[in-house]
Amino acid sequence: MFCMVKSARILLCILVFPVFRYAAYRLQNTNLCEISSLFSTPLDFPQSCINKLLTQQHLWPFWFKEGNACCLAVLPAWLLIEHQGQTSLLTRQTNFSYDTTLISTKFLPTLKRQFSNGICPHYPISQGFNGGLVGWLSYPSSQQAHLIDFPSLCFGFYDCFIKEDEHGDSILYASSEAASQRIIQHLSQATTPNFQLQAPFSQLMSGDDYLKAFTQVHNYLLSGDCYQVNLAQAFKAPCTGVASPAFERLLQLSNPPYAAYSHSPFGEILSLSPELFLKFCEDGSVLTRPIKGTRPRKQNPADDKIQFDDLQHHPKDRAENLMIVDLLRNDLAKHADIGSVKVAKLFKVESFPQVHHLISDIYCQLKESSHPLDLLFDAFPGGSITGAPKKRAMEIIDELENCQRAIYCGSMGYLSVTGRGQWNITIRTLLKVENSLYAWAGGGIVADSVCESEYQECFNKIGAILQLLEDEFLAD
């Protein structure tokens, strides 16, 4: 699971005592790192070994893609969690258990303070994650119809993780020899995961209910409340076991660029996201890539080209995309250097295994007085999954959708101590809480939208995912 294309290897890491390489570093010009030991252990293991590591929720495993590579973070030094209106700080102890403290201060200032005081080795990694914050933000909702018991915010400071080096070899990076040994111990002792659906997925919003909600959205659009509203519907199936095998199989289906998986005592997130919310670079530059516009793929190349061209030039999709580009330009500008917000690409069609998407690229330069977390929290949730204007669109969503979005349309990602970061938008994302597996799909509605087309678009986006799960994991 660590990298889905990795071939099976012999598990040397648990047969012989690992050789640790020690070094000490201090990150210059920032208070994000202090001197600390660095232990890096080359690992040679089969894919199934890492797969099993994801089953162990007490390690708080968090897997995410980074371009063509991937990273698995485990055993965070601390976690800051907001759940049911209460903020808790979980701190890793020497025996690798966690001590919990209730926090009365506001979440974001507390998170920034914890992050700035975080101790992490300056690992010699030039790209992607190299230790720091990893976590998720759930979509902010006061929806009361169908509530899902899941944290609204969860951020961990991870100083232990596994990723490939420039030679393609898997390396375990850990802040101590004890942490390395504990992780390798878990690699050797984990059990094979098992997952089953106990029944097919059911719609939580009927076709008639969707029509009523669509009609109300259309009325709001015509009355001038909004220009666009993203209306979603939810699906639910009973299930048992740990869902990491399902996530592995779904990755093979679509290989999305911003996939992520998290397993915690609260549940599992299986994100197959094709959409980048925010990318932070060490030089302060920021990229966002909103998706707005979708066409299903066709098996016949000529028919598929027709779909591609129709999306590329259709005035409705271009109008939807442009509305969200404008919204995100405004969101970025709040924390950007004056004049630095630029639209680098507008209306670019990108093809995925099941759909074509219309995508635009917007850049800015983060101003020195703003922290990346300031921009992340102030721009959240992404405009592509709310509508415009954002505030009123979110009020309409809250009024009309009959299931809490929870992690759907939220964000998962990381922010390294060096300033590199990547956060997705959690579309094409499933959530397992207790013995229920949830999925969602939606689309942007504008004044000239047609209900039947918007309803079908939901299934174009999520249908292949639900079908695969039912075909391969439904109990006999």
**Shortest CA distance to 37 belongs to which of 148, 158, 173, 139?**
173
Q: What is the pLDDT of residues 80-115, one digit of tens each?
A: 999 999 999 999 999 999 999 999 999 999 999 999
Whether residue 375 is predicted with pLDDT greater than 60 in this model: the reply is yes
**What is the pLDDT, as a whole number, of residue 440?**
97
Residue with tokens 């992404």: 382
Nearest Cα neighbor of 168 from 39, 7, 281 is 7
- Taking 90 as the threshold, does the pLDDT of residue 119 lie above it? no
Q: What is the arithmetic mean of pLDDT over 359-386? A: 96
pLDDT above 70 coverage of the chain, percent: 90
Tell me the CA distances in angstroms from 97 to 91, 118, 148, 268, one per residue in order: 8, 18, 27, 20
User: DSSP state, 190?
Assistant: P
Q: Are 342 and 271 contained in the same domain?
A: yes
**Are 182 and 242 in a shared domain?**
no
Does residue 293 fall inside a structural domain? yes
Does residue 361 have a pLDDT over 90?
yes
Please choose, from the candidates 405, 388, 399, 407, the residue with its C-alpha nearest in 3D space to the C-alpha of residue 442.
405
Determine the pLDDT at residue 187: 85
Between residues 131 and 141, the one the model is more confident about: 131
**Mean pLDDT, residues 119-148 taken together:** 87
Residue 232 has pLDDT above 90, yes or no: yes
In a shared domain, residues 184 and 230:
no
Residue-level pLDDT at 93: 97
Strand runs (DSSP E) across 228-354, as ranges? 228-241, 260-264, 267-271, 276-280, 285-289, 291-296, 342-351
409 Ramachandran zone, left/alpha/beta (phi>0; psi -120 to 50): left
CATH at residue 126? 3.60.120.10
Does residue 15 surpass a pLDDT of 90? Answer: no
Query: 84 with 46: CB under 8 angstroms?
Result: no
253-284 pLDDT, tens per residue?
988 999 999 999 999 999 999 999 999 999 99
Judge if 129 and 208 occupy the same domain: no
Alpha carbons 476 and 470: distance in angstroms, whole number: 11
Q: Give per-residue pLDDT as tens, 418-450.
A: 999 999 999 999 999 999 999 999 999 999 999
Residue 37: pLDDT over 60: no
Contact call for residues 291 and 443 (beta carbons, < 8 A): no
Q: Is the pLDDT of residue 141 over 90?
A: no
The model's confidence at residue 48, banded by pLDDT at 50, 70 and 90, is low
Residues 242, 163 share a domain: no
For residue 462, report the phi and psi dihedrals to the nearest 5 degrees. -110, -15
177/307 same-domain check: no
> Which of 28-37, 44-53, 120-129, 326-335 ranks highest by mean pLDDT?
326-335
Q: Looking at the structure, do residues 238 and 144 belong to the same domain, yes or no?
A: no
Q: Report the pLDDT value the prediction gives residue 143, as an integer from 0 to 100.
A: 64
The owner of tokens 């420039």 is 166
- pLDDT, residue 359, reads 95
Active site residue 275: yes
Q: With beta carbons less than 8 A apart as the criterion, state whether 163 and 70 touch.
A: yes
Quickly count: other Cβ atoms within 10 Å of residue 173's Cβ: 27
Q: Judge whether 92 and 7 are in contact, CB under 8 Å.
A: no
Q: What is the pLDDT of residue 378?
A: 97
Last residue of a domain, one of 161, 189, 217: 189
Write the pLDDT tens digit of every residue in 280-319: 999 999 999 999 989 999 999 999 999 999 999 999 899 9
51 vs 53: which has the higher pLDDT: 53
Find, among 289, 316, 298, 262, the residue nearest to 55 by Cα: 262
Do 392 and 462 have their domain in common? yes
Query: Across residues 152-178, what is the average pLDDT?
Result: 90
Identify the domain boundary among 160, 189, 218.
189
Task: Answer whether residue 26 is part of any domain.
Answer: yes
Catalytic residue among 292, 390, 432, 461: 292
**In this model, does residue 396 exceed pLDDT 60?**
yes
For residue 8, name the pLDDT band (cuts at 50, 70, 90).
Answer: very low
Same-domain check for residues 94 and 182: yes
With vertex at residue 267, the alpha carbon angle to CA 71 and CA 371, rounded to the nearest 5 degrees, is 55
Q: Which domain holds residue 300?
A: 196-473
Identity of the amino acid at 123? Y
Q: Is residue 298 part of a domain?
A: yes
**Which of 36-45, 380-389, 437-446 bottoms out in mean pLDDT, i.e. has the lowest?**
36-45
- Is the pLDDT at 10 greater than 50, yes or no? no
- Say if residue 276 is in the same domain as residue 244: yes
Domain count, the chain: 2
- The residue among 189, 222, 238 that closes a domain is 189
Same domain, 139 and 238: no
Which of 275, 320, 454, 457 is labelled catalytic? 275
Asked if pLDDT for residue 231 goes beyond 50, the answer is yes
Task: Tell me, yes or no, whether 58 lies in a domain.
Answer: yes
Q: Is 470 a residue of the active site? A: no
Q: Tell me which of 25 and 465 has the higher pLDDT.
A: 465
Quote the pTM value: 0.91
In a domain, 6, yes or no: no
Averaged pLDDT score across all residues of the chain: 89
Q: Both 238 and 142 in a single domain?
A: no
